[in-house]
Amino acid sequence: MLYALQTLPGLGQLAWHEAETHLPASDGPGPKLVGLKAIPGRNDIVLVAYRGGPRPFLGLRSSEDAFVVAARGFRIATDDRGLRQIYAAVRNSEDAARAIDLWRRATGSRQQNGSFRVIARTVGKQKFLRRDIGRAVADAVREGWPGRWNLVEDDADLEVWATLVENELICALRLSDASMRQRGKARHLPASLRPALAAAMVALTDPAPDDVFLDPMAGAGTILAERAAAGRFAEIHGGDINGEALSAMQENLRGAGGRIHLSRWDARRLPLESGAVDKVAVNLPFGKQVSDEAQLPDLYRAVLAEVARVLRPGGRLVALAGDQRLLEAARASAARALRPGPRHRVIVLGQPATICEYTRQ
Ligand SMILES: C[S@@+](CC[C@H](N)C(=O)[O-])C[C@H]1O[C@@H](n2cnc3c(N)ncnc32)[C@H](O)[C@@H]1O
């Protein structure tokens, strides 16, 4: 069956990597990447062929939503013929019945009938409107799919997401609810990361059971919470210069077990021994989050020098910054022991940003 994972722009490859390594290979081949689509500035969509059931998709942390694909359409025309093709592709899909069945399994629903709504999205130069796609898909569901489905505006039992990327249609049933996106996070600060992005950064640190892990500028603790959820660790250290951030962090980490130390500190002078840390992930302040951008070069230099001091040789740093040139300039002048590795372009709070990987020499 074909499933779809939805994540933040730029995270598609990392979400696929997590799916590839975490979805159990059931009685047959493991997951296979079928395609990666971008809805610019909004989402990446990862299409995954998988023989197993839907539940493991709901536990993936670098994605925000999981779907099962009920219908696909190819070479959809950009004029009104396209709407008829969309209707036919959805109405006649041989996968619809199985997709509804998998949706029932994922959500625990027993419904044969119920309410549904359609969320339509487009990328490309179609001459018709999103509203028209929604209507074509809704008609096709009502007239062709098994059961009796009643179209509503909100609070539907079944969400049908119809995405037209250029001339390819992906019509998918949403398996996840808001909890996959929010992860039960109690407190959010204006500069807080979305948990899926924090999870992708944690995955890039290569979590290991004996990790001493650090986020020196942890804000509300999103990265720390994702590290705690990513598997065993020896110690987690997190802190922030701001008292309100520390109390949000404490609240968000309350349910996490293990040796977690949270402090109010200045990341330029960490109360940690040299070489005591294996992995660091940090979301440096940037853009609208800072009152005075002129202070960033000094701050980045001082924080990178301190991270290079506390990391053991071979340790890893994964840093998210709005301006990677600023980060690179800081590294070159104050933390040459950090060897640059791969970079990943993402969009954070509507602004372009880069996740940069480093290894401590
Ligand atoms: C982009 S936010 C981090 C957000 C965090 N990843 C989250 O999800 O909530 C950057 C944080 O750096 C903190 N900060 C700024 N200067 C600092 C310093 N010198 N030492 C420690 N924290 C600092 C800010 O208070 C802010 O919470």
In percent, how much of the chain has pLDDT > 90? 90
Q: How far, in whole angstroms, is CA 145 from its chain's centroid? A: 31
CATH code for the domain in which residue 311 is found: 3.40.50.150
For residues 259 and 147, state if they share a domain. Answer: no
Are residues 217 and 157 both part of a single domain? no
CATH of the domain at 36: 3.30.2130.30
Q: Which pLDDT belongs to residue 290?
A: 63
Cα–Cα dist 68/140, whole Å: 17
Q: What is the mean pLDDT of residues 19-23?
A: 94
CB within 8 A of 325, min separation 6: which ones?
A: none
pLDDT band at 289 (very low <50, low <70, confident <90, very high): low
The last residue of a domain, from among 154, 180, 206:
180
Cβ atoms within 10 Å of 103's Cβ, excluding its own: 23
Domain match, 161 and 49 both: yes
| 216 and 188, same domain (yes or no) | yes
Number of domains in the chain: 2
- Answer yes or no: do 263 and 329 share one domain: yes
pLDDT attached to residue 338:
98
Smallest CA separation from ligand 1 atom 7, residue: 192
pLDDT tens digit string along 42-63?
Answer: 999 999 999 999 999 999 999 9
Region of 124 (left: φ > 0; alpha: ψ -120 to 50; beta: rest) is left
pTM of the model: 0.95
pLDDT value at residue 288: 65
72 and 175 in a common domain: yes
**Boundary of a domain, candidates 180, 196, 223:** 180
Which residue range is the domain that position 348 belongs to?
A: 183-360
- Same domain? For 156 and 266 the reply is no
* 253 and 356 together in one domain: yes
Write down which residue in 117, 148, 180 finishes a domain. 180
Q: Enter the tokens of residue 357.
A: 């990987």
Q: Tell me: do 161 and 294 sit in the same domain.
A: no
Q: Give residue ranges with CB within 6 A of ligand 1.
A: 189, 191-193, 217-220, 222-223, 240-242, 245, 266-268, 283, 285, 289
Q: Is the same domain home to 34 and 169?
A: yes
CA atoms within 13 A on the CB side of 268: 9
Site to probe by mutation for ligand 1, drawn from 192, 226, 240, 293 as the one with most ligand atoms within 8 Å of Cβ, is 240
Same domain for 149 and 202, yes or no, is: no
Kindly state whether residues 222 and 103 are assigned to the same domain.
Answer: no
Give per-residue pLDDT as tens, 68-108: 999 999 999 999 999 999 999 999 999 999 999 999 999 99
Best CA proximity match to 152, nearest among 166, 165, 162, 142: 142
User: Ligand 1 center to residue 253 CA distance, Å?
Assistant: 16
Per-residue pLDDT of 338-356, as tens digits, reads 999 999 999 988 899 999 9
Residue 285 Cα to ligand 1 midpoint, Å, equals 6
Of 241, 268, 291, 301, the residue with max ligand 1 atoms within 8 A of its CB, to mutate for a pocket test, comes to: 241
